[in-house]
Homo-oligomer: A and B are copies of this chain.
Amino acid sequence: MKETIAPVAVDAMGGDNAPDAIVQGALNAARKGLPVVLVGGGAAIRGRLARLRRRTSLPIEVVHASEVVEMDDHPAQAMRRKKDNSIRRCFELVAQGRASAMVSAGNSGAVMAGAIFVLGRPEGVERPAIISALPALNAAPILLDMGAVVDCKPIHLVQFALMGELYARRVMGVAHPRVAILANGEEESKGTDLTRAAAAALRRSSLCFVGYCEGRDLLTGDYDVIVTDGFTGNVALKTMEGTARAIGDHLKGALRGSPLALLGGLLARRALSRMKRRVDWREVGGAPLVGVSGMGFICHGRSDALAIENAIRRAHQAAGTRFTDGIAAAVAPSAALLAAAEATPPFEPTDPRNPVRVDA
């Protein structure tokens, strides 16, 4: 048991399988020495714990919260109106230092809203983002934002890059993360006004900024931190998910009717469904929030006990790095980088007579 890190607060009420799978996942984590605080309906949690656990010496606390944020609740309204909800209580434990991080499989918008309301943002942070770990074969690139900030300005992308790079170094242990902006081509002239402004600023930063990457580069492992607005990030992640599913359907068709291919098909389908799960951002031990003053992990609503246990382990490990302490310093140069980039016109002269710009 690691004494120096406070327990992870676990929202016992969030997700399709709450509270049973959540309590079970927390119990499994506790059995492996990771201290947890289960937050939610106290009687229900204690009843389930009593049924599940054999010995009482496990590092599990229970903190009561009388209200539950439903999946269709409006995030910000739920935070204001349901004062004693389990998500909010989790973040309060983090704010008080009684927990090192929180994990929830509940309403992801409410988790973000709760983080902003209760933890607040480190100085200088404009908008918090959600990080997705991408299922590259021999690497674990991260993509941000995957859905929190849909209408982005250049300052948001620049800060996502700075925060993501810090996360990759501190939490993922990547010595020199290669940072790229997702765009429609690799050349500097590609992208939108948004991506070009952000790229111009990041070229002046101390990051190892390699410019644009494309959709086909997301899973190669050639980049460690891939930056994009929440709209494009969400589309890209769900496109991966849909493509994996469609390939599975194609394969089923191709493998059907050939008895010798059955074993191969089984293996292929297993590999595919593993891939499909890995592509789903919320299943890989939760998606961390960045840009709030504390650690929160959003898990998939379908999370089972194993997913929750994984998220607790990741939250515990991430909290131990004291990642959030470095955010204010990381984002501090963002406005100056943008201002400097704006003050200098791009090197390449544009052709004012050119009436078309084709980016195919």
Residues on A facing B (Cβ under 8 Å): 74-77, 108-110, 112-113, 116, 130, 135-137, 146-148, 150-151, 182-185, 190-193, 214-220, 228, 230-232, 234-247, 249-251, 253-255, 258, 260-268, 270-272, 274-275, 279, 298, 351, 354-360
Contacts and interface: CB of A to CB of B under 8 A. Distances in A.
Given A216-B242, A219-B245, 10 more contacts: A109-B359, A109-B360, A130-B360, A137-B246, A147-B184, A150-B192, A183-B235, A220-B246, A251-B272, A258-B263
Contacts of A151: 192-193
Contacts of A219: 242-243, 245-246
Contact of A356 (B112, B231, B263, B279): B112
B241 A239 contact: no
Contact of A254 (B108, B109, B240, B271): B271
Given A218-B242, A254-B267, A234 B184 contact: yes
A234 B359 CA distance: 9
A265 B255 CA distance: 9
B267 A267 contact: no
Contacts of A116: 355-356
Nearest to A239: B215
Contact of A264 (B193, B264, B351, B354): B264
Contacts of A77: 351, 354
B184 A230 contact: yes
21 contacts: A76-B351, A112-B360, A148-B360, A150-B190, A182-B235, A185-B234, A215-B242, A216-B239, A216-B242, A219-B243, A232-B232, A236-B236, A243-B243, A243-B244, A254-B271, A255-B264, A261-B263, A262-B264, A264-B266, A264-B267, A298-B360
A208 B44 CA distance: 48
Nearest to A357: B150
Nearest to A214: B238
A169 B220 CA distance: 38
B355 A246 contact: no
A191 B360 contact: no
Contacts of A244: 243, 247
